[in-house]
Chain A
Amino acid sequence: MSSQYNENGILKGQKNRINLLAVIVTILLAILIVRLFYLQIVEGGYYYKLAKDNATRVIYLTAPRGDILSKSGKIFVDNESSFNIAVILSRVKKKKTEFKFLAGLMHKNYRKILQKVKKEEFLPPYEPIILIRNISIKELSKFEVNKLFLKGFFIAKIPIRHYPFGKMGAQIFGYVGPVSSTELKEKKYGYLNSSDIIGETGLEYYYQKYLHGKDGEKRIVVNSKGEPIGNIVVKKPVMGANLYTTLDFSLQKLAYKLMKKREGAVIAVNPKNGKILAMVSTPSFNPFYFSEGISRKHWDSIINNDEHPLQNKGIQNALAPGSTFKAVASLAALSLHLITPEEKIYSGPTFKLGNAVFYNWNPNQNSKVNLYRAIAESVDTYFYSIGVRIGIDQLADYAHRLGLGEKTGIDLPDENPGFIPTKRLVYKRYHSRWYKGSTLSAIIGQSYDLVSPIQLLMAYSAIANGGNLYRPFLLQKIVSWNGKILKEMKPKFVRRINIKQKYLNAVKKGLCGVVSKNYGTAINARIKGIKFCGKTGTAQIISKTYSIYDIKYIPRKYRDNAWFVGFAPLNDPKIAVVVLDMHARFLGANAAVIAKKIVEKYLEQKGLWKPPLHKKNEKGKKGGKNKSKLPSFIYTSF
């Protein structure tokens, strides 16, 4: 066909070129179709999602965190609204002038505000950036007045953790903080968004899943400028569940009041089921400062405080139990038939083992004593004479039966298991052979013995309740926003401690003597009409080279720890209390008195005890100086 038109002035070659071009164009269009196939069919789903992501903005609506309440529903931790100044950058016309104006208005550093903006620069321009957190009402009104000059800025109301009682029980409730990128990657936190806060310690951490609730979602269709267009789909946030603790509100408050100025811990528990009635650890910290991300400086000051405010000393701290361990030693000696309760053993001021001399706390001790008196008066030499006859592994066996040296399983994170020495364990841990003399130290709760207050408390509870070891717990129930009970904690019986009832009774009798007998070491803890039984203890930090009289010259951190652990009433124990008063200003100071006040308060509430009349009058006065009326120098322990 091509050659016939040659005479019209068009060459065959030219026609061939047209054919060539037609082929090229066809190929080019075919390539285009292949490309379209790739984009739309092969990668279509991917691009479809990108287009949807382009046009929808997901705004996560943080679910209000559940409250933490006392047994009766008094609020320990809840939320309040905080007012924050936020900005949407794309709406700010003249950035420099407006930021400067805001900085001047709020008395903030202009450069610091700019830094904050810079830090969030990767955010799309329609996303609000929080510039100034938690402004006061005064600042809020200042902002509102000048709102006309601050286009693009607005007040963001954000729920923030609120602690009506500040530092009280901060380690127990724990603190919350912005979720970190590493936490976000963890599988168990799969439900979190980057804007969430998360429980970092304490109950906030342990019951995070319940407290958090379910975040909502707001899906907004926006155009390329980020202006919302079209429908908004909302998934409503589900409020976090409320956590009812076993804590008794007034007891908790009292415990903190008594301990506020000290370093240590107080725990009160129902000895018959393990419900914790009060738990404080001091000194404490204000968890509020953590919820928005704590400043470096503040964090350092907390971390470098050698009284460890963040530590829950009731469970995370294991130390020598001192003489409180004698109850355990007594049970072991009785069960192993090394002694009988009535058997009198000569106990002098010192006890010699080979070349070593072991001292009694009271240098005037020089008589034959039976078990009751030995416990009541905390006679060291009595126990030394048991110590030479008992093996350390046997002693450890009884300590373990009572739950010492193992985690109690309380519903709080990072419990310290403590340490109860056996020959094998000591070798493993300290690469040291066991010496007989060490048994004498161990039997009075020194040397290698390390227990946490909660362990000691549960051991004494087991003695008090007739031999049942319980797992202590703080959670009573978790109730969802609509009143559904999501979780209810039943007392968990761990085991029978497998010690004969008569031996338990003998030790209990001894423990009651500690308070009731005139020679007892805790006579100042007597409660009129109530059989309050317990044991004092003083645990040495360093070996006893200081005499008691030069206590004020001993550096604080080397001062002894004072203990008291006890329960009441004897026959039907309602409450058991442990008090750890670390580096007590005065030896053995007041631990028993603190326990007594707590027991009194509890029994009074229960209607089991009434304060004597004259005391009531004193209360009625409320002279203002009625702060814990503790004698400034009481010599109790050992």
Chain B
Amino acid sequence: MKILDNQYAKNFDFIMFFTVILISVIGIINLYGSLSLNHKDFLDPYVIKQIIWFVISFFIMSVIITIDYNTLIEAAYYIYGFILIFITVVLLKGRITHGASRWISLGMFSFQPSELMKIGLIFALAKYFTSYENKKGYSLKGLIVPFIVIIIPVLLIAKEPDLGTALIVLFIGFIMVFLAGIKKSSMAVLAGIALVVGPLLWFRLKPYQKSRILIFLHPAKDYLGAGYNIIQSEIAVGAGRFFGDGFGNGSQSTLDFLPAKHTDFIFSTFMQQFGFLGGLVLIALYFIVIIRGFKIVYRAKKLQGFLLGGGALGIITFHAIINMYMTVGLLPVVGVPLPFFSYGGTSLVVDMSAAAILLNISMRRYKFQS
């Protein structure tokens, strides 16, 4: 198989590729700038680990780009099943961190298999919907299998408990159903169910999950408790003002006022350092990635590519918007990383894989013409 076939090279979305790389590099630089003042070290384990993860995900990305996505979709159910088993194992004997058994330890690195589920899910659904294509839109009956495919990992992940990831998996599943086509009447019924089940779910939430939502509504209510995160995050963002405090000068992160500053709240540390101006640039970069993604999905020639690309784009877009919304107080705090930017191997691998899938699709859109 020729990777650098002229046709491939011509259709390879370099803009998206380089934007993703650029965001990752800015992310690593930003990570360095957000280190605590009292142990700022060029060889900081956070930075080193992230660079290693970047290399790893770059490798994975290359592998995914190389293999024809159609081949990958053939193996979709195996991928899905494998990851599902993985999650079950984690649930049964995963390491306990933050009161949740969502991590698996791999020596120096730890890994969150539930993140991988997102990739597994989009493959499985893409395969299912191509295998059972319904041009008039699916009825509820036709959605039973996809529903099961979606709901099993969602419940498992929610059980970990990782409500944020579970919800995102649910959303991604829904987006794919939406793209595959759903009857309007079925849509209405689903909306109705969501309206009924949603409030009931409230009573199933853990106390800290409830308080996160309550705090989102009234952050000042619990200044030093659950509201602390969001208030500190808003302070960090606001303090950046137009030009920012400058690289390495984000006091909220360097002095550790911002919790989860390397992961969930990395955007806030960036905003304090680089201000509104830097924020515009970063959002523009994400916008480029997402819009290129939309273009790729739009231009996809086969339903497999369309659905798989839509799902992959959904992963990146959900991550980006939910994370940024959460850090500026527009959404409750859920543990969602900023794609390519947050510290953490799993999320980097997943988002890079999603980008790789999109690049893969873009590259091979004229495959059948050549």
Interface residues of A (CB under 8 A from B): 2, 5, 8-11, 13-15, 17-19, 21-22, 25-26, 28-29, 31-33, 35-37, 39-41, 43-48, 50-52, 54-55, 221-225, 227, 229-230
Contacts and interface: CB of A to CB of B under 8 A. Distances in A.
Nearest to A11: B135
| Interface residue range, chain B | 35 or more
Contacts of A45: 241
A43 B328 CA distance: 13
Given A17-B178, A222-B255, A41 B302 contact: no
A229 B294 CA distance: 47
A414 B316 CA distance: 76
Contacts of B252: 51, 54-55
Q: Lowest 5 A-B CB distances belong to which pairs?
A: A47-B238, A44-B241, A51-B239, A223-B255, A8-B301
B257 A55 contact: yes
Contact of B294 (A21, A36, A46): A21
Given A31-B330, A40-B242, A223-B36, A10 B301 contact: yes
Nearest to B279: A36
Nearest to B277: A40
Interface stretch (B79-87, B97-105, B317-325): B317-325
B122 to A, nearest CB: 15
Interface stretch (B58-66, B189-197, B285-293): B285-293
B357 interface: no
A225 B259 CA distance: 12
A29 B283 contact: yes
A52 B300 CA distance: 51
Contact of B302 (A9, A25, A28): A9
A25 B37 contact: no
A229 B255 contact: yes
Contacts of B279: 33, 36, 40
B255 A32 contact: no
Contacts of B180: 14
Contact of B257 (A28, A46, A224, A230): A224
Interface of B: 36-38, 133, 135, 137, 175, 178-181, 232, 234-242, 251-252, 255-257, 271-272, 275-276, 279-280, 283, 286-287, 290-291, 294, 297-303, 306, 310, 317, 321, 324-325, 328-330
Given A35-B330, A40-B275, A54-B252, A5 B301 contact: yes
A28 B279 CA distance: 15
B238 A28 contact: no
A39 B306 contact: no
Secondary structure class of chain B's binding surface, majority of residues:
helix
A228 to B, nearest CB: 10
B271 A29 contact: no
B367 to A, nearest CB: 11
Contacts of B317: 25
B290 A36 contact: no
B286 A29 contact: yes
Secondary structure class of chain A's binding surface, majority of residues:
helix
A52 B303 contact: no
Most B-side CB within 10 Å, residue of A21, A28, A41, A45: A21
B306 to A, nearest CB: 5
Contacts of B310: 18
Given A47-B234, A55-B257, A223-B255, A41 B306 contact: no
Contacts of A26: 287
Contacts of B251: 51-52, 54-55
A18 B294 contact: yes
Contacts of A223: 36-38, 255-257
B303 A10 contact: yes
Given A18-B297, A51-B239, 20 more contacts: A5-B301, A10-B301, A10-B303, A18-B294, A28-B321, A28-B325, A29-B283, A32-B330, A36-B280, A36-B283, A40-B238, A40-B240, A40-B276, A41-B242, A44-B239, A51-B252, A51-B272, A229-B37, A229-B38, A229-B255
A112 to B, nearest CB: 26
16 contacts: A8-B302, A9-B133, A10-B302, A10-B303, A18-B297, A26-B287, A29-B321, A40-B240, A40-B271, A47-B241, A48-B239, A51-B251, A51-B252, A54-B257, A223-B256, A227-B38
